[in-house]
């Protein structure tokens, strides 16, 4: 048994998984998530803002102390979209190294997708038919990966909940013109993704990360965030698309009234819901064109964090 820590530092949140690894499984000890909005303004400025960097490093120091108290033997810190895009990422790398004592790995989008696939499919493979298309919908990017037991094709799109909100959805609620511009952005990204990932070869569509789990909580009518009810949820496509549209068109005050909604996601969930709805619609159309029928989607709480933790087994 080896106790490991996986840290996923994305555009909107930084998350920690402390788990015990043995020959047969991954056993959770601690899961934490904190919205730090590291990617604040990166799409516009190309740099990590000082206040965003300070928030992220403060949380990293908290996670370092949790790792120490939990007796963690191995740590892997993975940074994704916002850090990939930042001209001052060397400052971030140095800050993380000082805070937790390991070198953060700024991974390319394709590796991010593969880690997400491993984390999700490792749990779902015995319950749902392959091939899988796994969608990791983050703040700065969205990864699509298709495969069976292992990934066979992956692509990272530069569209995510924070990036699209800052780029297009500035009004409260978003205007029809803003929504149309955001849809055009996502559709263009999906056109490129479809050239690399065989979306029509999907028996099970799996959604990961905070935007997807929040949409799922809305579909389920939850009055608080319930990991157990959300994880592994199977929902009809029409139900999910309706929930996405509802969240997109609400005001921020109306979103904040939802008991399951994290305060740090209130302003960006509309964009996240928009991306998820366009991905579902595109995959469903591709499956139909290939002679199949996609009527439901699966939500998983097991994602890139689990994939990072599994990578520490070797």
Query: Cα–Cα distances in Å, from 116 out to 66, 205, 236?
Result: 24, 13, 23
pLDDT at 286 over 80: yes
pLDDT at 303 over 70: yes
| pLDDT, tens digit, 9 for 90 and up, residues 184-212 | 999 999 999 999 999 999 999 999 988 99
Distance CA 145, CA 136 (A): 9
Distance CA 270, CA 255 (A): 9
Q: What is the pLDDT of residue 82?
A: 67
What structural domains does the chain harbor? 2-106 (3.30.420.40), 116-304 (3.30.420.150)
Write down the pTM of the prediction: 0.86
Distance CA 139, CA 269 (A): 10
DSSP string, 28-87: EEEEEEEE--TTTTHHHHSS--HHHHHHHHHHHHHHHHHHHHHT--EEEEEE-HHHHH-T
């Amino acid at each position: 048994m080896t106790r490991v820590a996986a840290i996923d530092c994305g555009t909107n949140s930084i998350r920690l998984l402390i788990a015990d690894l043995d020959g047969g499984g991954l056993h959770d000890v601690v899961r934490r998530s904190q919205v730090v909005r590291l990617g604040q303004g990166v799409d516009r400025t190309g740099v990590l803002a000082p206040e965003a960097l300070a928030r992220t490093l403060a949380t990293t120091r908290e996670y370092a102390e949790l790792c120490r108290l939990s007796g963690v033997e191995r740590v892997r810190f993975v940074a994704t979209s916002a850090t990939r895009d930042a001209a001052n990422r060397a400052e971030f790398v140095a800050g993380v190294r000082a805070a937790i004592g390991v070198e953060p790995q700024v991974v390319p989008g394709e590796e991010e997708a593969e880690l997400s696939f491993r984390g999700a499919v490792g749990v779902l493979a015995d319950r749902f038919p392959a091939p899988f298309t796994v969608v990791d919908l983050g703040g700065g990017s969205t990864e699509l990966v298709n495969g069976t037991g292992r990934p066979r094709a992956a692509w990272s799109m530069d569209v995510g909940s924070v990036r699209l909100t800052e780029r297009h959805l500035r009004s409260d609620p978003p205007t029809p013109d803003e929504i149309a511009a955001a849809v055009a952005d996502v559709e263009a990204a999906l056109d490129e993704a479809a050239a690399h990932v065989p979306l029509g070869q999907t028996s099970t569509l799996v959604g990961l990360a905070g935007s997807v789990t929040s949409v799922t909580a809305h579909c389920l009518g939850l009055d608080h965030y319930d990991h157990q009810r959300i994880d592994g949820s199977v929902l009809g496509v029409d139900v999910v698309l309706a929930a996405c549209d509802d969240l997109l068109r609400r005001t921020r005050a109306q979103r904040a009234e939802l008991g399951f909604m994290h305060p740090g996601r209130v302003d960006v969930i509309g964009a996240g819901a928009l991306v998820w709805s366009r991905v579902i619609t595109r995959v469903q159309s591709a499956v139909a064109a290939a002679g199949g029928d996609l009527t439901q989607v699966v939500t998983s709480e097991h994602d890139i964090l689990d994939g990072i933790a599994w990578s520490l087994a070797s």
